[in-house]
Amino acid sequence: MNHASGSISRGFLRVAAAVPPVRVGDVSYNIKRMQEFATDAEKKGATVVLFPELSVTGYTNGDLFQQRLLLRAVEDGIETLRRFTKKKRIVMIVGVPVASDGKLFNCAAVIGRGNAYGIIPKTYIPGYKEFYEERWFASGRDARAVAVSYAGTTVPFGRDLLFRLGGGDGVTFGIEICEDLWTPVPPSSLQALAGAVVVFNLSASNELVAKAEYRRELVSQQSTRAILGYVYTSCGVHESTTDVVFGGHAMIAENGSMLSESKRFQREGELIVSDIDLEHVRHDREKTTSFGEGVHEHALSFRRIDVPVAAPRSQGLLRTVHAHPFVPSDGLMRARRSEEVFSIQVAGLAKRIEHAKIRHCIIGISGGLDSTLALLVAVKTFSLLHYPLKNIHCYTMPGFGTTRRTRSNAERLCKALGVGFEEVDITKSVSAHFMDIKQDPRLHDVAYQNAQARYRTMVLMDKANQMSGLVVGTGDLSEIALGWNTFSGDHISHYDVNAGVPKTLVRYLVGWVLERQVENKEAQHVLGDILDTPISPELVKGRGMGITQKTENIIGPYELHDFFLYHFVRWGSSPRKILFLAGHAFGKRYTAREIKKWLTLFISRFFGNQWKRSVMPDGPKVGSVSLSPRGDWRMPSDAETHLWLKDIEGSLKNSSA
C-alpha cells in the first residue's frame, strides 16, 4: 500500500460520517453547514467525509425536486463545494439530484481538490409504504450517459464507478445509496468483488421502533459479508416532516465490528470519525478463499477514477484497541461468550468419549486454573451423558515445588464436585530417576523441571490404560503458542479440551462456571480461591503455602502474549504494527520497551516451538485463533525469526527518533 495515497500510517484510513443540520430546499444554507462539517472532519485528520442522501437539498422535498429552480441551485452549490475543496486535503461525498437524458436521478457526488470526480446514481428506488421516490427518480439502471455536464465541468456518471484515493495502488472505494443496501444483492457486494475495500452509503432512513437495531445489523453484516469497511450516514431530525421522523444515524463498521456510531436525534448534528484498518480487510480477503470465488459468479466491469488526495499526517489512532481481544469488555456479552465456549468444549469431549466408547476420564489436577477448567468441562460432559461422576478420576501428583495451597484446593474441589480423587506423590520416583540419569537434584534446570512433568503424564497415561480411560488435557492456547509445556509431558493427552482457550479467557470461564453452573457452596469457595491463585508450574520448591515460581515473572504477562497472539495469527500483523497497537491498548500499564521486550520473547518462542504444535493432540477450536496443525495454523518448524525480530528493532528506533 502506498501510505502517501489516501491512508495514514500502518494501513489505516481515517474516515468521517456527518449528520449536519439541514433546511429542506435551502441549498445555500445546507452547503454552508456541509463546509463546516468538512472542515471539522479535516481537522480531525479524515481523508473522506460522507454526507446523507440528497444532503444538498434535503431528502423530503417531494415534488419540489421537479422544480428547475431547485436543480439549478444544486449545481451552483456543487460549484461552491468544488471551489471550497480546492485547497483542502479531504474528499466530500454528498447527495444531489441530477438530471440526465430526460430523467432525474438520486445521486452521490464525489468532490475534492476543486474537482467533481464522479456522480453515482442510486440503483434501487423505493416506492412502497412511506417511500415515494419512484414518483421523482429513475433507477441508475436506466442511465444511458457515461458522463454529464454538471456544475461547469464534465463528470463521469454511472453505477459502474469506483474511486482510487491517490491512484495506482491507493485505496479503492465504492458508493451505494440507502435502499441499495436493503436488497438481496447490494451494489456494494459487486463493488467489493471488483476491489473496493471501503464502501460509503448515503442514506435517508426514517425512524421506527427497532429500525435502528435493524440498520446496525445490516451495516455490520454487509461489512462482514463483503469483507470491507462500511461508512453509513442518514439524514437528521431537521428532515422530519408530515408523517415521518428522521434521527440521523451514522456508523463506521469494519468486517463486522462497529468502530463508531452516532447518537441519534441530535439537533445540532453530529460528526463521527474513525480509522479503518485496511490491512485487516485485505488480510481476511486473501485468507477467505471463497470471497474470491464470487468474482466468477458476479464479474462486472467498473471504471476506476483516480482521486489524487494525499492523506493528512497521522494524528494518533481514532478507534478502540481492546487490550484483551479474546475477552468481550461488555459483561453480558462476556457471559454469553463464556457459555458458548464452555458448550463447545463440552460438546467436543462428549463426542470423543462416545465415539471411543469410553466411560472413564483421567485428569491431572493441580489446583491451578487450567486443570480446574478441564475438570469442570468433564463434570458437565459426564452429567450430560448420564455417566457417574466417580468415573472422572482426578490425580494430584505433588512434586518438589507443590504448595499446600494448590494441593489442598485440588482435593477439596474434587470432593466437593463428587469426582474420584487420588494422590500420587512423585518425589520418590523422580528422585530415583535423577539417580538413573545422573541429574544433580540441587540443579533446578530444565531437566529437573521437565522430569516431573513427564513423570506425571506417564502416571496419567498408565492409569488410563488400566481402566480403558481417556486422558483429558489441560494445556491452554497461550501455553501452546509459547511452547510453555513439556514435550511428551503436559504437552500430551488423548484430548485437550483447553487447546483453543487463551489464558486471559480461562479465568473468565472458570468464573462463569462458578456463578452459573456450580451450586455446591464448598466448590464455590474453592473455585474462588483458585481464581485468586498466581499462575505457576510449581516445579521448583517454594516455602509453605507461598508460590515462588510465578509464570508471568518468567515469560511475561499473559495479557500481552494473548494480545500479540491475536494480532499475529488472526490478522497477520507485523511486529511493528503490533507494537503500535499495544501502545494504544495498554497505555501507561507498560512502557514501550517493556512491550518490545515481551514481543521479542513471544516471536522467539512462537517460532521456536512450532515443532511442539506439529504433534499436539486433538482439541476443540473455540474462536477465530487456533494453532492446530490440522486446521488453522501450519508453518515449518525451522522457520527463521530474523525478518520479524528486525521489524521490532526498526520500530523501536523509529519511535526513539
Q: Which of 122, 380, 577, 596 is catalytic?
A: 122
Q: Please write the tens of the pLDDT for every residue from 10-64.
A: 789 999 999 999 999 999 999 999 999 999 999 999 999 999 999 999 999 999 9
pLDDT tens digit sequence for 413-458: 999 999 999 999 999 999 999 999 999 999 999 999 999 999 999 9
445546507: which residue's cell?
A: 30
CB atoms within 10 A of CB 82: 20
What is the average per-residue pLDDT within 518-525? 90
Q: Nearest to residue 398, comparing CAs of 442, 360, 428, 359?
A: 428
Residue 607, amino acid: F
User: 227 and 285 in contact (C-beta within 8 Å)?
Assistant: yes
Domains located in the chain, CATH noted: 9-307 (3.60.110.10), 331-656 (3.40.50.620)
Q: What is the pLDDT of residues 541-588, one digit of tens each?
A: 654 445 555 788 889 999 999 999 999 999 999 999 999 999 999 988
pLDDT confidence band for 190 (50 / 70 / 90): very high
Distance CA 444, CA 442 (A): 6
pLDDT score recorded for residue 438: 96
What pTM does this model have?
Answer: 0.92
Residue 142 phi, psi (nearest 5) = -90, 0
Q: Check residue 133 and report its DSSP letter.
A: G
**Rounded to an integer, what distance in angstroms lies between the CA atom of residue 631 and that of residue 83?**
55
* Cβ atoms of 631 and 605 closer than 8 Å: no
* 522 noted as active-site residue: no
Residue 122 appears among annotated catalytic residues: yes
Catalytic residue among 42, 53, 270, 479: 53
Do the strands 495-496 and 198-203 form a parallel or antiparallel pair, or are they unpaired? unpaired
Q: Is 428 exposed, middle or buried (0-12, 13-18, 19+ CB in 10 A)?
A: exposed
> In terms of C-beta distances under 8 Å and separation of at least 24 residues, what long-range contacts does 67-73 make, across chains too?
70/25, 70/27, 70/97, 71/97, 71/99, 73/27, 73/28
Averaged confidence pLDDT in the chain? 92
CA within 13 Å, CB half, 147: 10
Q: What is the tens place of the pLDDT at every residue in 56-67?
A: 999 999 999 999
- Parallel, antiparallel, or unpaired: how do β-strands 229-234 and 420-423 relate? unpaired
Written as one string, the DSSP assignment of 146-158 is SEEEETTEEEEBS
Closest CA to 21 of 268, 261, 249, 272: 268
- In the chain, the amino acid numbered 528 is G
Q: What digits encode the pLDDT tens for the residues 90-137?
A: 999 999 999 999 999 999 999 999 999 999 999 999 999 888 999 999
In angstroms, the CA 373 to CA 506 distance is 7
Catalytic residue among 178, 361, 394, 414: 178
Q: How far apart are CA 311 and CA 165, in angstroms?
A: 9
- pLDDT of 159 strictly over 70: yes
Percent of the chain with pLDDT over 70: 93
Among the listed ranges 245-254, 524-533, 615-624, which one has the minimum average pLDDT value? 524-533
Share of residues in the chain with pLDDT > 90 (%): 84
Q: Tell me the pLDDT tens digit for each residue of 339-356.
A: 999 999 999 999 999 999
Q: Where are the alpha helices (DSSP H) in 258-330?
A: 278-287, 289-297
Any idea what the Cα angle at residue 316 is, between residues 314 and 317, rounded to 5°?
110
361 a catalytic residue: no
